């Protein structure tokens, strides 16, 4: 079975440019999470979707960040304009439903470097 798919795996861009990160969840998983990982702050939950609807975006750091899930098979996280402090690894994770016992499965992550 294919796991969570993220693209690109690595992205290097210059400050001010738009960055789009992509995620394809595991088939049948109804919940999708975007995380950011940095050395300083560890793993932070940015936003969560359930059945394609954003449920909690309180972790999105600024208006420069936006996320969409147009269908059950695809989600994007966009940063516009990007800044050097956005450099991090961005993970997409999915799970079957909305139960406390559900396991989240992570994608391989996108390593973003903003120069």
Q: Footprint of another protein on this chain (CB under 8 A)?
A: 31, 33, 42-43, 45, 48, 50, 55-56, 89, 91, 93, 98-101, 103-109, 111
**Cβ nearer to another protein, comparing 81 with 106:** 106
Nearest to 13 by CA among 88, 108, 63: 88
Q: Is-contact 95 101, C-beta < 8 A?
A: no
Shortest spacing between CB 16 and another protein, in angstroms: 26
Name the DSSP class of 31: E
Radius of gyration of the chain (CA): 13
Q: Residue 90 CB, nearest distance to another protein (Å)?
A: 11
Residue 5 class from Cβ within 10 Å (0-12 exposed, 13-18 middle, 19+ buried)? middle
CB of 84 to another protein, least distance (A): 20
Minimum CB separation of residue 31 from another protein in Å reads 8
């Amino acid at each position: 079975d294919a796991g969570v798919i993220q693209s690109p795996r690595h992205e290097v861009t210059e400050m001010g440019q738009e960055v789009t990160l992509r995620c394809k969840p595991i088939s049948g998983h109804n919940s999708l999470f975007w995380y950011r990982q940095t050395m300083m702050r560890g793993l932070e939950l940015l936003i969560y979707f359930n059945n394609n609807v954003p449920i909690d975006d309180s972790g999105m750091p600024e208006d420069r960040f936006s996320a969409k899930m147009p269908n059950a098979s695809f989600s994007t996280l966009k940063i516009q304009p990007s800044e050097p402090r956005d450099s991090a690894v961005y993970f997409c994770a999915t799970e079957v439903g909305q139960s406390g016992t559900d396991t989240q499965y992570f994608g391989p992550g996108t390593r973003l470097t903003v120069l």
